[in-house]
Structure 1
Amino acid sequence: MRILVAGASGLIGTALSGTLRGSGHDVVSLVRRPAASAAEFQWDPAAGRIDDVALKGADAVINLSGAGIGDRPWTRRRINELGTSRLGATRTLTAAMGRMDTPPAVFLSQSASGYYGNAGSAVLRENAPAGNGILARICVDWEAAAHEAPAGVRVVTARTGVVLSRSGGALGRLLPLLRLGVGGPLGNGRQYWPWITLPDVAGAFEFLLSAPLAGPVNICAPESADVNSLITALAGALHRPALLRVPAPVLRLVLGQLANELLLASQRMEPPALAGAGFHWQHPSLAEAAAWVAGRS
C-alpha cells in the first residue's frame, strides 16, 4: 500500500513508519519544512495548505498530527493550540481528499483516551459517552473533523491510551526517575491508565489499515491497570523501589489543569473492537509490557 502519514516524526509516527516500511509498504510523510526527499511533501496545516500531489495514488492516510499534550504548561494560549493544531491538520487532510477524483480508501485519524474524561472505575468501551473537560471537548471535535472525509472513505478514529516506550512519550520524565529508584505513583494511584506499548500501538495502526472496522477504536492493551499497579510493575522490572508518591495537591500546584486531566484522570478503557477483529498484542499483559520497557524481552 501507498500510505501518507501526517505526524511521522513523533513518537508513534516514527515507530509506525518503520513498522510499515518493514512490512513492505510505501510510506510518504508530510513535513512542515521543505521536503528533503521524494518520500516527503511539505504542508502547512495551520494555513490549510497541502500539495495535493502527496495524496495521488495513496491507498490510506494516517493522521497523527497535533501539538504535544503534556510537554508544556496549559496556558490559555496552549490549550487553544492543542485544539486548533488537531482540527487544522485533520480538516486540511479531509479537504484535500475531497478534491481528489479517487480519494484514499482509508483514513486513520488519531484521537485519545481523553475522549472519556475522568470516568473513575467505569469500564469504557467504544460506545461509552464522551466525558467532560478540555481533552474530552478536543477529542469530540477532532473526531468530528475526521468524519468530514468524503463519502466512501473508511474513517477510523483511534482513541489511543498511554503509550509505554523505552524512552520518551508518557514515561519520558518518569522512567529515568524509576531507573534511579526515586520515582513513585502519582496521586493516590487508584486512577486507571489505559496503557499500550509502542510496538503494539504501531501494530494496531497497521492492523486497522485492512481490518473491517470504522468509527472509534480503543487502542490499549487488554489488561487494565491503575497507576499503582503500573508503577509497581515497571519498578519491579527495573529492580528498583517505587516509594516516593507525588501527592495530588502537589501535582495540581505545579501543573494545574494538566495534572487533573492527564495524570489524575481515570479511564478504565477496554479494546473490544480490536480484540473482536482479531488483533494480537505483542505485550498483552502488564508484566510483559514492563519487561519490554526495562529491556528484558
Structure 2
Amino acid sequence: MRVAIGGATGLLGTALSRSLTSAGHDVVRLVRGTPQTSDQRRWDPDAGRISGPGLDDVDAVVNLAGTPIAGGRWTKDRKAAIRRSRTTSTLTIVTSLAPDGRCQRLLNASAIGFYGNTGPEIVDEDSPAGRGFLARVVQDWEAAASHSPVATATLRTGHVLAADGGYLAAQWKLFAAGLGGRVGDGRQFLSWISLADHVRAMEFLLTSELTGPVNLVGPRPVTNAEFTRTFGDYLNRPTLVPMPLPAVSLLFGRDFVREALLAGQRVAPRRLIDAGFEFEHNTLAEALNALS
C-alpha cells in the first residue's frame, strides 16, 4: 500500500510512518518546506496545493496536520490558527481526491474535544457535540472532512501517551521533580490512548470499511486524580501539590484552563471495539510501563 501522510513530522505522523515503512508499505510524507528526501512531497495547505502528482499516486491518505492545542497562550490569533490549520489542511486533502481515482481511503484527524465537558457521563460516537471553543473547532474540522469524495473516517483522538511527546511531554519534568499534582478537584475524566495503540488503530482503519467518527481512546478512562496518582507511582515521586491554576492561566489563558484542563471527557471506543480491534494497553499502568 502507498500512503500519504499529512503532519508526517509530528508525534503521530512520525510513529505511523515508521510503522508502515517497517511493514513494507510506501509512505509519501507531505511537508511544508522544500523536500529533502525522495519520500517527501511539498504541500501548502494555506494555498490549497500539493506539488507533483498531488494524491493521484497513493492508495490512502492519513491527515494528522494541525497546530498544537497547547503550543502557546490562547490569544485570538492563536485560536484562529488552531482552527485554520485543521480546516485548511483537511480541505486541501479532500479537494485533491477524486471519486474515481486510485485513492479510496482517508483517515482524517479529529479529537474528543468534540464532546465538550461530559462530566462523569460515558459518551460514544453517537453522542452529540458539546459546547465551547474546542467543540466548535472539531465540528468545523469534521465538516471539512465531510466533503471527501472517498471513504473517510474521522479519528476522534484522546490524550496520546508517549515517552517523547503528546500528553506527557509538558508534565514529565514536573512530576519527576515531585511537583506534579491533580488539576482542580481531580474528578474530571481523562480519556487516554498509548501511542502504540493509536498507531495500531490507524493501521487497522486503513483496511477497515468504517467511515464517520471513530473514537481513538483506550477502553478504561481515568479521573485526573487517578492519572496523577498512577503517573506519580510510575515515576516513584510524590503527587501532593495540586497544579497552580492561576500560574497556568497566566501562561495559556483562562479559556485553555477551563477547556483543556478542567473539562473532562469519559469517552468509549465503541466503534473500534465493535469492529474487532484489540487494545495492547488496556489500563493506564500498562501504557505507562510500556514506555520504559
Q: TM-score range by the shorter chain?
A: over 0.9
Gaps of 5+ in 1: none
* 1:66-77 to 2 correspondences below 5 Å: 66-77=66-77
Write the deviation string for residues 222-243 of structure 1: whole angstroms up to 9, x where unpaired: 0110111111111111111111
- Alpha-carbon offset, residue 103 of structure 1: 4.5
CA distance in 2, matches of 1:231, 1:263: 13
Q: What is the aligned partner in structure 2 of residue 172 from structure 1?
A: 169
- Alpha-carbon offset, residue 250 of structure 1: 4.8
Q: What is the aligned partner in structure 2 of residue 118 from structure 1?
A: 117
- Give the aligned residue type for 1:113: I
CA distance in 2, matches of 1:113, 1:252: 22
Question: C-alpha root-mean-square deviation of aligned residues, in Å?
Answer: 1.4
TM-score under structure 2 length normalisation? 0.96
Q: Name which of 198, 204, 207 aligns with 1:207.
A: 204
CA distance in 2, matches of 1:187, 1:290: 23
- Asked if 1:228 is matched to 2:225, the reply is yes
- Alpha-carbon offset, residue 177 of structure 1: 1.5
CA distance in 1, matches of 2:137, 2:92: 17
* 1:54-203 to 2 correspondences below 5 Å: 54-98=54-98, 101-150=100-149, 153-203=150-200
CA distance in 2, matches of 1:101, 1:24: 26
TM-score under structure 1 length normalisation? 0.94
Q: What is the aligned partner in structure 1 of residue 9 from structure 2?
A: 9
Range with greater deviation from structure 2 (114-123 or 163-172): 163-172
Percent of residue pairs identical: 42
- Asked if 1:244 is matched to 2:227, the reply is no
State how many pairs are aligned. 291
1:12/1:198 contact within 8 Å kept: yes
CA distance in 2, matches of 1:37, 1:74: 35
Gaps of 5+ in 2: none
Secondary structure (helix, strand or coil) at the match of 1:55 reads coil
2:117/2:259 contact within 8 Å kept: yes
CA distance in 2, matches of 1:37, 1:211: 30
- Give the aligned residue type for 1:5: I
